[in-house]
Amino acid sequence: MRVIQLLLLCLCSVVAMADTAVISRVGIIVGSLENPFYQALVRGAIATVQANNAAAQITTVPSDFSLSKQIRQINSFVDQHVDLLLLVAADPVRIGPAVQHARAAGVTVVAVDVEAAGAEVTVTSDNVQAGELVCGYLAERMQGKGRIVIQNGPGVSSVLDRVRGCHNALKAFPDIVVLNDSDNALASRWGGQKVMAEQLQRYPHIDAVFCINDPEAIGADAALAKADRPALLIGGVDGSPDIEKALKRPGHVVVSASQDPYLLGARSVMIGLDLRKGNTSPPSRVTVPVKLVTRDNIATYRGWTSEHPASGSE
């Protein structure tokens, strides 16, 4: 009788585990494992997966922003029978067929940071809000008048949304002129420096620069260090470790909109878990709010090294 009771107890435990541990294999594809943003995103995802199933197999790979490499990685994860795939798309449109292939094989696909055609849901920072907050701050610092340039970037949804948000904010300041919003600084420090140097030659009067991410902002600051334009203001988006340093030292960078990559990774897994359980119908897009980081509140900003970053003003 005792043996039967033990067998029933074990069976109940197995059933309970099967009910709660809905993912056993997880694939994560990010742009680069050398980028602190993606490192924090992966940490958030792994912690959340392991909270559901400590024995889950988690494989993280970098696509190096290569579409062809990413397609091969997705196919490999399909062959490995992963339950959940978190995907930072190298190309939000052309990745579609590979995403559909994964979903047809029973894989739950969650797009993270940027959109991916065919994904069940996209989890991003509120990039429109990021553009609005930073450009609104720059406009206030300009006292509502002057000239601004927008350093653009790759044509992915996050970049497009940030530029759109910047334009939204500037509508409230009719005396601010946007000199340029199309130069692509490639979301890189090198690109930001190159584009800023070219814009300084082209426009003798610039009061502020909005960069679509922090690497561009750091590059623009480097270009300005070689120029005699002391009053120019720079804003970025990310809240990265590099921008923390820039805000603590003399320079042109005055603001960034802080993303929370750890929370992005965690939220993506939680949504993936709900999809696997079949007990939710999330919106096609979920956004995570951002906050301003400035020279005034940088001392209280905990940044990406924290599991729960804290910025200053909303």
Statement to judge: residues 296 and 166 lie in one domain = yes
Q: How confident is the model at residue 252 (pLDDT cuts 50, 70, 90)?
A: very high
Q: In this predicted model, what pLDDT tens digit does every residue of 12-61 receive, in sequence order?
A: 433 333 345 589 999 999 998 988 889 999 999 999 999 999 999 999 99
How does the average pLDDT of the chain come out, rounded? 90
Q: What is the CATH number of the domain that holds 96?
A: 3.40.50.2300
Statement to judge: residues 144 and 244 lie in one domain = yes
Statement to judge: residues 64 and 204 lie in one domain = no
What is the domain range of residue 26? 2-123+261-287
In a domain, 307, yes or no: no
Statement to judge: residues 135 and 247 lie in one domain = yes
How far is Cα 95 from Cα 293, in angstroms, rounded to an integer?
34
Q: In this predicted model, what pLDDT tens digit does every residue of 153-192 receive, in sequence order?
A: 988 889 999 999 999 999 999 999 999 999 999 999 999 9
Statement to judge: residues 179 and 44 lie in one domain = no
Output the pLDDT for position 93: 95
Statement to judge: residues 154 and 247 lie in one domain = yes
The total of structural domains in the chain comes to: 2
As a whole-number percent, the residues of the chain with pLDDT over 90 amount to: 78
* 3 vs 184, more confident: 184
Statement to judge: residues 14 and 79 lie in one domain = yes
Q: What is the pTM of this model?
A: 0.84
Q: In this predicted model, what pLDDT tens digit does every residue of 198-223 receive, in sequence order?
A: 999 999 999 999 999 999 999 999 99
Statement to judge: residues 20 and 85 lie in one domain = yes
Statement to judge: residues 145 and 244 lie in one domain = yes
Please give the helix or strand (H or E) that residue 216 lies within, else none.
Answer: helix 214-225
Question: Within 13 Å of residue 110, how many CA atoms lie on the same side as its CB?
Answer: 30
In a domain, 309, yes or no: no
Q: What is the mean pLDDT of residues 135-145?
A: 98
Rounded (10°) angle between helices 157-170 and 127-141:
40
Statement to judge: residues 141 and 254 lie in one domain = yes
DSSP letter for 184, please.
B
Are 292 and 259 spatial neighbours (Cβ–Cβ below 8 Å)?
Answer: no
Contacts of 40 (CB under 8 A, 6+ apart): 261, 262, 265, 304, 305
Output the pLDDT for position 305: 66
Are 252 and 221 spatial neighbours (Cβ–Cβ below 8 Å)?
Answer: yes
Q: Is the pLDDT of residue 280 over 90?
A: no
Statement to judge: residues 204 and 272 lie in one domain = no
Statement to judge: residues 86 and 222 lie in one domain = no
